[in-house]
Each structure stands twice: as structure tokens, then as C-alpha cells.
């Protein structure tokens, strides 16, 4: 009986070690609003050039933000306004004269995804911004999915979703549960998110500093873990040591240097999650 117990205990310990090693096998880099902090992108966040440069330097992922205009055009922009003009209250034509620092105009999602098609090895990390009501959020999500399909990018291997809107995360979990779907707000534990059907969390640094146990909790639940926006050496090292799956950063070269051979560079062929212990 003792021999059987020892064998079982050894097997369990071995499996635990394998799982832990898999979790810490590497960390992915996501360029925050694209790799914009370079001359090739004209230092322009959320530009088509910033996506291109994230693809060119072989980032695992490139994050971008979307809104929907009053006339139902999904556009790429971080703030809810452009030069003081609120996006959801105005038509797309109202922004035709606006220019990013590199000279690009405001991109439609359709234009942005044309570049996305050219670098399928780089995950498109799509942040759906909070809109003025749930009806508009639902329409933005529907149009985003439609656009992704039109570009041949509607695949868990090519795109993942993140949002501060709990409603949108719940809706994605309902209609597209096969996609990585990460909540951004940081005030909800992994187990609570899991109970809602949400399969990932993408929290700001201070949330993981306050709750470092959430990384293991999420992994034990088969969830993916991202952290934003990590730009300094000390914090990058802290998040690597904590075992997060992906670091969103404005400094991809610095993160790459600190990761060394622990960087995940390619989207996995059988799924987009960089957590090796997804259940």
C-alpha cells in the first residue's frame, strides 16, 4: 500500500511540476497601441504604421482600440473623442481633417485590418471601448465581427478581445466563447470572472501587485493573464517573475531584452492563449 501511495504521490508531483514549468515557459509581448514609439511609425499610436511595425519586429501581439461613430462606422482610436469631438455623437466624415503625427487620418477598422492581414503571425488584440449604452456596444461588436470575417481574421488564432465593459466581455463569452476574452477593469477576481464565462484577465500593474495570487488562481482555472502597461525594467522583471502570460508595453525591445529566450514570439498553431495550462 505504501508503495502504491508513493507512486501516486510521485506522479502527482511530476504532473504539477510539468504544469508549472509550462506556465512559466515563456511570456508574450504585446505592443501597446501598436509599436508606435519609433520613427518608422511616426510616433503615432493606433496608426496603421504602428501595427505594421509591431508585425515587422515580430511582436506576439499588437493592441488597438475601437469606437463606433454616430453613423455606425467602427474606427480605431483610443479616446472617446478626437480633438475634443466626441466620437459617438458625430459621423465619420466629421473627422476627415484630423491627422495623426505621422500624417495618417483616422483609420476605419476595415482599413486597419487590411494591414492586419499582412502579418498573421501577430495577434490582433482588439480593445472594444465602452460606449454610451449597451445597444451601441452590441452594434459595435457585431460590426467588428462582421469586419473580421470579411478580412479572414475571425479566428482565435488571429484575434482576441479585451474590454473595460463587463457587458461586452459577457456578450463575447456568450456568442464567441472560443476566443480569448479578457476583462480590463481589475476589480474582479479570476474565479468571479470564470463564473461569468469570461476566460481571461488583463489588469493594470498595481492590481497584480495588490493581488499577486490572482495569477496562479487564474492559471489554475485555465484562464489567460495579461498585464498593462509595463514600461520600466523593474516592473517588467516583477511581472515576468510573477508568471503573467503576456506583457503589454510601449517598450517591446526592453521587454524582449529582459525575457531573453523566454519570449513567446509566435501565435500558437492550436490557439491564441499564451498560457500553456489552459483547460
Query: Taking residues 179-199, what's their average pLDDT?
Result: 98
Check residue 201 and give its pLDDT: 98
Query: Whole-angstrom Cα distance, residue 84 to residue 107?
Result: 17
Torsion region of 222: left, alpha or beta (phi above 0 gives left; psi -120 to 50 gives alpha) = left
Q: Tell me the CATH number for domain 27-264.
A: 3.20.20.190
pLDDT tens digit string along 21-37? 344 569 999 999 999 99
Look at residue 85 and tell me whether its pLDDT is greater than 50. yes
Look at residue 265 and tell me whether its pLDDT is greater than 50. yes
pLDDT tens digit string along 159-169? 999 999 999 99
Cell 483610443 -> residue? 78
Check residue 2 and give its pLDDT: 44
This prediction has a pTM of 0.89
Give domain limits for the chain.
27-264
Per-residue pLDDT band for 268 (boundaries 50, 70, 90) equals: low
Q: Are 277 and 268 spatial neighbours (Cβ–Cβ below 8 Å)?
A: no
Amino acid at each position: 500500500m505504501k508503495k502504491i501511495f508513493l507512486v501516486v504521490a510521485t506522479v502527482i508531483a511530476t504532473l504539477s511540476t510539468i504544469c508549472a514549468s509550462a506556465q512559466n515557459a515563456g511570456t508574450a509581448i504585446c505592443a501597446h497601441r501598436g509599436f508606435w514609439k519609433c520613427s518608422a511609425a511616426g510616433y503615432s499610436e493606433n496608426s496603421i504604421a504602428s501595427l505594421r511595425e509591431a508585425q515587422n519586429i515580430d511582436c506576439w501581439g499588437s493592441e488597438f482600440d475601437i469606437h463606433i461613430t454616430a453613423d455606425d462606422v467602427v474606427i480605431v482610436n483610443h479616446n472617446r473623442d478626437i480633438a475634443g469631438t466626441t466620437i459617438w455623437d458625430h459621423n465619420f466624415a466629421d473627422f476627415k481633417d484630423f491627422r495623426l503625427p505621422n500624417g495618417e487620418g483616422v483609420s476605419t477598422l476595415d482599413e486597419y485590418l487590411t494591414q492586419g492581414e499582412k502579418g498573421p503571425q501577430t495577434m490582433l488584440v482588439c480593445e472594444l471601448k465602452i460606449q454610451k449604452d449597451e445597444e451601441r456596444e452590441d452594434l459595435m461588436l457585431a460590426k467588428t465581427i462582421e469586419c473580421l470575417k470579411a478580412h479572414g481574421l475571425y479566428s482565435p488564432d488571429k484575434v482576441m478581445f479585451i474590454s473595460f465593459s463587463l457587458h461586452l466581455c459577457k456578450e463575447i463569452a456568450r456568442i464567441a466563447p472560443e476566443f480569448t476574452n479578457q476583462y480590463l477593469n481589475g476589480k474582479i477576481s479570476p474565479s468571479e470572472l470564470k463564473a461569468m464565462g469570461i476566460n481571461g484577465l488583463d489588469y493594470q500593474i498595481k492590481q497584480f501587485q495588490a493581488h499577486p495570487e490572482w495569477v496562479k488562481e487564474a492559471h489554475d482555472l485555465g484562464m489567460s493573464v495579461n498585464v498593462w502597461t509595463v514600461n520600466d525594467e523593474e516592473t517588467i522583471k516583477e511581472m515576468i517573475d510573477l508568471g503573467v502570460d503576456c506583457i503589454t508595453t510601449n517598450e517591446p525591445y526592453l521587454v524582449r531584452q529582459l525575457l531573453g529566450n523566454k519570449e513567446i514570439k509566435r501565435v500558437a498553431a492550436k490557439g491564441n492563449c499564451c498560457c500553456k495550462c489552459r483547460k
